[in-house]
Amino acid sequence: MQLQNTFYVIKSRLKKWIAVKSHQPLYTDEQMLLFEKLRPGDIVYARMPLADIMTHSIPQGHQNRPYLIVEKNAYSLIAYPSSHKVPENMNSINCFVMKKEIYHHYHRENGMQLNVKDSYFDLSAYHELPIENLIAYSTRLMMHDLQEVGRKLMIAKNNGTDVKLLDVELSIQEGDVCSIQGALWYVYRSYHRTLYVLPVYKQQLSKEMMRLDIKDEACYLNLSSCKQLNNVQGFPVIWTCNRSMIALIDNKKKALRHQLAQTRSRYKKTNPVRYKMLYPMGQQFYFQFNNTVIIYLYNIRDRAYGIYLDEFQEGILKIHGLDDFEYMRKGEMTDMMQLNKIKKAFVRSHKDTHQVLGRILNKENQLKESSFISEYH
């Protein structure tokens, strides 16, 4: 087999030398016509480059195979080879599988043939195919497969692999970096056509910003600023992060969210929610359709809160949100002694969820103390 390959290489090089001396092209008119029609995303059936045949000792009958074109030069194609055998170094990034169930037929030198096996395209190393190696147009990948290959190649480049990228518009997914109106945004979450994005800067504006390398250039991700974009379509994806980087960003974002929640919790304890009074505390109301007595306590923003008197008398300590005052009629004021009893009961039982009644009691006690001091001093 090695002898046959050596003979083939000698014969090919001699043919090339004669063509150069006679100023004749190495390719036929049919090969040139085929080359002119091919474009990135097409699969072409071609003869392997001489270096590959010698290096891997490829036997006769296996030296022709399909190639996925990703780039077209003046007199050659940049393409990735395929095989019916699973590559030894196969992983989710460096291999694309062309399923026989989807691509039923393909073209070879003998015309249309039935595809009976899956084809595995090795995306870890590209090849340069001269025009004289072209045999026949095979097929073209569907758009979603082109996007999958484009994404795999971009991730491989992000991991430092020497690859040639496929010029195809990628669908936006989590982990992508998009260019939107001249600014860079990292896609943190994606739901249908709604994106939640984080801004990416070329400079580190604060120590909290996370470094994110894009095309071998250091950029910085602001984890604390999130923006929602609706009806998203047509934004160019200029980079995509690998799984480990996506997981790292997610973990840092969760840690920051937890830290902010703790900060808000401490703030709430030291800065309780503001309340206001639309009615005097203790004002009673009745529903128009029954005689249930409601005692008004306070307002937080535009919502009123109070208790049901019958619940309190039964020992049930529960503050209700009161939404529909238009269905109530105003009654009398609650007795001051009973109102103080209500306030103290809620404070002692820790049922005063807004901490309003406790603050009111503290203020009342401070006023009593100050009036006592002013009276005797």
Query: 181 and 86 in one domain?
Result: no
Amino acid 373: pLDDT: 42
The 3-class SS string of 102-136 reads CCCEEEECCEEEECCCCEEEECCCCEEEEHHHEEE
Domain end marker among 101, 125, 158: 158
- 48 is a domain residue: yes
Strands 217-221 and 283-287, sheet pairing? unpaired
CA distance 108 to 117: 15
Residues 337-365 have pLDDT tens digits of 999 899 889 888 877 777 888 888 877 77
Q: Under a CB-based contact definition with an 8 Å cutoff, are residues 88 and 123 in contact?
A: no
- Shared domain for 219 and 298, answered yes or no, is no
CA 249 to chain centre: 10
* 187 shares its domain with 330: no
The total number of structural domains that make up the chain: 3
Nearest 10 degrees: Cα torsion 352, 358, 361, 363: -140
Give residue 272's pLDDT: 65
Is 187 in contact with 250 (CB distance < 8 Å)? no
248 and 290: one domain? no
**Residues contacting 173, CB < 8 A, separation 6+:** 151, 187, 190, 240
Residue with the larger pLDDT of the pair 363 and 264: 363
Backbone angles phi, psi at 288, to 5 degrees: -70, -25
pLDDT digits (tens, 9 = 90+) for 231-253: 666 677 778 887 888 899 999 88
What confidence tens digit (pLDDT) does each residue in 142-185 have? 998 998 899 888 878 876 788 999 988 777 788 888 887 778 88
How far apart CA 54 and CA 336 sit, in angstroms, is 102
CA distance 307 to 283: 11
**pTM over the 0.85 mark:** no
> Which residues form the domain of 318?
283-376
135 and 8 Cβ atoms separated by less than 8 Å? no
Task: Let me know: does 95 contact 122? Beta carbons within 8 Å.
Answer: yes
277 lies in a domain?
Answer: no
Residue 327 DSSP symbol: G
Residues 274-330 pLDDT 10s: 788 888 999 998 876 667 889 999 888 778 899 999 889 888 888 888 876 666 788
**Helix ranges restricted to H, 186-315:** 243-270, 309-313
Say whether both 85 and 132 belong to one domain. yes
Let me know whether 348 and 244 are in one domain.
no
CA 165, CA 69: separation in Å to the nearest integer?
A: 10
Q: How many helices (H) and strands (E) does the chain have?
A: 8, 21
Q: Judge if 371 and 261 occupy the same domain.
A: no
Express each pLDDT in 185-221 by its tens digit: 899 888 777 888 899 998 888 887 899 888 778 999 9
Tell me the three state secondary structure of residue 359. Answer: helix
Q: Could you tell me if residue 168 is inside a domain?
A: no
208 and 153, same domain (yes or no): no
